[in-house]
Amino acid sequence: MIETLHNATLISQAQPFIELDNHGEVLRFQLQEARYFLGRDRTWSDLEIPEQGWDVLSRRQAVLQREGDHYRIYDGDGHSTSRNGIFIRHTQISEQGYVLKHGTQLEIGQDASNQIKLTYIDPASSPTVTPSNLRLDLKRLRETPVELGREPDATRYASMTLESPVVSRRHATVYATPDGGFTLQDHSTNGTFVNGQRVERFAKLHESDRIRIGPFTLVYQHGILELADRGNQIRLDAAHLVRKVTDKLNTERVILDDVSLSIEPGQLVALVGGSGAGKSTLMKTLLGIEPTTSGKVYLNGDDLRQHFDLYRSQLGYVPQDDIVHCDLTVEEVLLYACKLRLPADTNAKQIVQKTLEQIKLHHVKHTFIRDLSGGQRKRVSIGVELLADPKLFFLDEPTSGLDPGLDKEMMNLLRELADQGRTVILVTHATANLEACDRIAFMGRGGKLCYFGSPQGALDFFEMPEADLKYFADIYIKLDQGKTKQDVHATVQHWATKFHQSQSHHLALNPVGRESSNRSAPSNMGSQRRYSPVQQLRLLSQRYGQLVMRDRMSLGLALLTGPIGIALIYLAVQTRDPLIPVTPQDAMHASLSLRTLLVISCIAIWVGISCSAQEIVKEAPIYARERLVNLGLLPYLGSKVLIRSGIAAVQTLLLIAAILLSLHSPAPDLLPWVFGLGMTNFLTLFSSLCLGLLLSTVVKTENQANNALPLIMIPQLIFSGILFELQGLPTQLSWLMVSRWSVGAYGALVDVNQMIPEAIQIPGRAPIAQPLQVNAVYDATWQNLGLNWAMLGASAIAYLAIALYLQKRKDVI
């Protein structure tokens, strides 16, 4: 039975249907039978096409054949292809046909301005039956602005609903302007792009403008705003990728050697090959985060690195390292990721529940990540990426370290994700479950593509004794044959050449991307992503605070080190009261006072640096991933500073209490001792924690951070001006030390100069100098105290500025 409907009418909830959109004239045909013929030839076609205005459609355009739960479409009548062809993402479908899945959109006709769009809708795969094509006649809506978004206010505005987690509820509005045109206003988190360029609040619409909102593309033409592409499918084309690197000996090495391949929407593709063959490099290049020496990657025909911002929200990437915090529960990880990555108006709880079901981890949602198995942890990383419903999903060794059962489960999960319309690309060493993949890319040493095609086809290509996947591992051995490095290279070259000449190569090279034709191609490198810095700061601080509180041992040590240090000073000085003057004056007492103040300063410096030196480096993989999505540098560093400053305030209170209890308090002229002590200790801690954060941006591992601590502490002691008298260059070096300004401030408060007796006068002899001289560094004046405090603050700002700069330099795109 064939049902033909016009425009927005909905049809049976259960049956799949195709929709043909001929410039707004929409036909829908419900599909029930095993086979359908589609064309203008009424004696041949099962589907009734109007006689007028549908000339783009050939007389015998296509055959639809049921295949499992879906239909496969073939171009032409089954013997020869049609005149105008059928295209997916500007690429003609091959003789093998194309499997239609929910949301698949094909184009009939070669002329982009005169095409019929064919969309396949399968209600069983979708919770709601939505019209696949939406168009608004803006000319008729001149009085009312048009709202575009996930949940636009349909009662107030004419609206277009664009259902995707990365679209804001009210994403953009289109207004009529007095000159008869239209202007688009962006209110979104993830941005609206007109012709590939991000809208900075307002953009005037021009004829044929392409508007991109999340995955959706709308076209503005003749006063009509039309949803041209749901973007639910991404095709990837890699064209002649070459990557050369220079090693430590300054010799050039090729790690990707002229790799070309095409991956169709909904395919599950494995990148396989021996260790060091270049799989990860290829994956990162396909993802756009590794540069190429030459060659390009295209997504739906767009140069990926040039249009990275356009696709940023559509890409999911699970790197080898886990991208989750171990001290959070599964649910917390997903909630934070959801709030950080998706628009603020998203119902985070609902999306997290859905994702938990998708990754089948509902039963462990309250479990800490550190208590999960390796496989479950990987699933959480995958879940974090699935929150934004990416259409192109990359996974670097998702099955490494998993037992065979978990390996199979993981591959099944990835297969499911691909079946839902996503393009999934993974690097793997596991060969047991490769039959789940649609394509495998076999890499040989030197980054050469030796095979790209079906897993079964690989066995035939590499001349295995039988077409049995148990021989898969033998391909690795075959590719690695040769006694010397040159022999192995010759072997790899043999297979790469064979592949170039083979049938499969045509498949791999099938159509490579086009340069964007109807859009300007701005470089998006380093372009600003929009986010609410205050909201990110709040979220990141909340998450970081929670993590700090959960690490009770470290927090306890950080809080108690100061008081314990003071108790030890008390033990050492006993009743000598180092902070108050003695009578008669004694230069040795002044020296004791300065040494005590140095130890108090160094406790704060040590605690400040050591508490923060690991805080950035330890979550580098998480940072790198979140930064690629939308993480702001200032909120990120700000959250560390904010939480650590809060802890520094508590540390200061504890230290004040310990000092008041252990040592007799001086009575400074400038301000009460307790305030001066608190301020100086806090500023010392603050400056040191900023120095620690700077260190954390420089080092590559937590171990390096630990090992660097003494190297930072030793100059603080040597150039503090207490242990050695400094002259010339060392004096200037001391200006770079937190200890110099901290001891300076304490010295001014305690008024150390007052404790130093005058030179001993013996009549008839030259005065005998005291072992310790009065020093302007410890002048008990507001001017001097203010200078010391200001320098502590200024060094903190300088450390943070350098840390920001170094972190920014880590950006890959």
Q: Which is nearer to ligand ATP, 291 or 672 (CB)?
A: 291
For the record, the structure tokens of 631 come out as 């993480």
For the record, the structure tokens of 671 come out as 């301000």
The answer to whether residue 680 forms part of the interface with ligand ATP (CB under 6 A) is no
Q: Which is nearer to ligand ATP, 31 or 272 (CB)?
A: 272
Q: Which stretch binds ligand ATP (CB under 6 A): 165-173, 275-283, 416-424, 792-800?
A: 275-283
Q: Which is nearer to ligand ATP, 241 or 342 (CB)?
A: 241
Min separation Cβ 808 and ligand ATP, Å = 20
Q: Which stretch binds ligand ATP (CB under 6 A): 8-16, 271-279, 459-467, 775-783?
A: 271-279
The answer to whether residue 450 forms part of the interface with ligand ATP (CB under 6 A) is no
Min separation Cβ 292 and ligand ATP, Å = 12
Q: Which is nearer to ligand ATP, 245 or 723 (CB)?
A: 245
The answer to whether residue 276 forms part of the interface with ligand ATP (CB under 6 A) is yes
Q: Which is nearer to ligand ATP, 496 or 579 (CB)?
A: 496
Q: Crossing angle, helix 782-809 and helix 633-662, to 10 degrees? A: 140
Q: Crossing angle, helix 673-698 and helix 738-750, to 10 degrees? A: 180
The answer to whether residue 291 forms part of the interface with ligand ATP (CB under 6 A) is no
The answer to whether residue 624 forms part of the interface with ligand ATP (CB under 6 A) is no
Q: Which stretch binds ligand ATP (CB under 6 A): 202-210, 276-284, 345-353, 357-365?
A: 276-284
Q: Residues 584, 662: contact at Cβ < 8 Å?
A: no
DSSP state of 368: B
Q: Which is nearer to ligand ATP, 38 or 277 (CB)?
A: 277
The answer to whether residue 646 forms part of the interface with ligand ATP (CB under 6 A) is no
Min separation Cβ 277 and ligand ATP, Å = 4
Give residue 786's Cα distance to chain centre. 43
The closest alpha carbon to 414, from 443, 372, 385, 388, belongs to: 385
In the sheet with 236-246, reading across from the earlier edge strand, the strands are 302-303, 294-299, 236-246, 252-263, 448-453, 439-444, 268-273, 423-427, 392-396, 315-318
Question: Maximum Cα–Cα distance for the chain, whole Å?
Answer: 134
Residues 37-56 that bind ligand ATP (CB under 6 A): none
Q: Which is nearer to ligand ATP, 51 or 252 (CB)?
A: 252
CA atoms within 13 A on the CB side of 626: 27
The answer to whether residue 251 forms part of the interface with ligand ATP (CB under 6 A) is no
CA atoms within 13 A on the CB side of 175: 10
The answer to whether residue 448 forms part of the interface with ligand ATP (CB under 6 A) is no
Give bridge partners of residue 219 from the DSSP assignment. 210, 226
Among 105, 280, 300, 314, binds ligand ATP (CB under 6 A): 280
Among 18, 167, 255, 352, binds ligand ATP (CB under 6 A): 255
Q: Which residues contact 505 (CB under 8 A, 6 or more apart)?
A: 452, 499
Phi-psi region of 574 (alpha: psi -120 to 50; beta: other; left: phi over 0): left
Q: Which is nearer to ligand ATP, 152 or 278 (CB)?
A: 278
The answer to whether residue 399 forms part of the interface with ligand ATP (CB under 6 A) is no
The answer to whether residue 634 forms part of the interface with ligand ATP (CB under 6 A) is no
Task: Give dist(CA 203, CA 226) in Å, integer.
Answer: 17
Task: Give dist(CA 32, CA 44) in Å, integer.
Answer: 18
Min separation Cβ 281 and ligand ATP, Å = 3
The answer to whether residue 398 forms part of the interface with ligand ATP (CB under 6 A) is no
Q: Residues 608, 684: contact at Cβ < 8 Å?
A: yes
The closest alpha carbon to 315, from 38, 608, 549, 630, belongs to: 630
The answer to whether residue 812 forms part of the interface with ligand ATP (CB under 6 A) is no
Q: Which is nearer to ligand ATP, 245 or 650 (CB)?
A: 245
Min separation Cβ 435 and ligand ATP, Å = 21
Q: Which stretch binds ligand ATP (CB under 6 A): 278-286, 405-413, 785-793, 800-808?
A: 278-286
The answer to whether residue 76 forms part of the interface with ligand ATP (CB under 6 A) is no
Among 275, 484, 501, 517, binds ligand ATP (CB under 6 A): 275
Q: Which stretch binds ligand ATP (CB under 6 A): 272-280, 522-530, 588-596, 774-782?
A: 272-280
Q: Which is nearer to ligand ATP, 238 or 337 (CB)?
A: 238
The answer to whether residue 632 forms part of the interface with ligand ATP (CB under 6 A) is no
Task: Give dist(CA 1, CA 73) in Å, integer.
Answer: 19
In the block, tokens 């043909």 appear at 20
Q: Under rule CB under 6 A, how many of the chain's residues touch ligand ATP?
A: 11
Residues 221-250 that bind ligand ATP (CB under 6 A): 245, 247
Task: Give dist(CA 361, CA 376) in Å, integer.
Answer: 8
The closest alpha carbon to 202, from 187, 190, 185, 188, belongs to: 185
In the block, tokens 């009743």 appear at 575
In the sheet with 192-194, reading across from the earlier edge strand, the strands are 135-137, 224-229, 216-221, 209-213, 192-194, 197-198
797, amino acid identity: I
Min separation Cβ 438 and ligand ATP, Å = 21
Q: Which is nearer to ligand ATP, 256 or 685 (CB)?
A: 256
Task: Give dist(CA 377, CA 517) in Å, integer.
Answer: 43
The answer to whether residue 285 forms part of the interface with ligand ATP (CB under 6 A) is no
The answer to whether residue 526 forms part of the interface with ligand ATP (CB under 6 A) is no
Among 277, 607, 659, 748, binds ligand ATP (CB under 6 A): 277
Among 196, 231, 265, 278, binds ligand ATP (CB under 6 A): 278
Q: Which is nearer to ligand ATP, 394 or 746 (CB)?
A: 394
Q: Which is nearer to ligand ATP, 129 or 254 (CB)?
A: 254
Say if residue 268 is exposed, middle or buried (CB neighbours under 10 Å; 0-12, 13-18, 19+): buried
Quote the Cα angle for 294-298-301, to 5°: 135
Q: Which residues contact 797 (CB under 8 A, 6 or more apart)?
A: 690
Task: Give dist(CA 273, CA 479) in Å, integer.
Answer: 9
Q: Which is nearer to ligand ATP, 489 or 530 (CB)?
A: 489
Among 279, 378, 391, 439, binds ligand ATP (CB under 6 A): 279
Among 281, 423, 431, 697, binds ligand ATP (CB under 6 A): 281
Min separation Cβ 319 and ligand ATP, Å = 12
Q: Which stretch binds ligand ATP (CB under 6 A): 268-276, 309-317, 462-470, 517-525?
A: 268-276
Give the Å distances, CA to CA, from 350 to 87, 315, 359, 363. Answer: 37, 22, 15, 16
Residues in contact with ligand ATP by CB under 6 A are 245, 247, 255, 273, 275-281
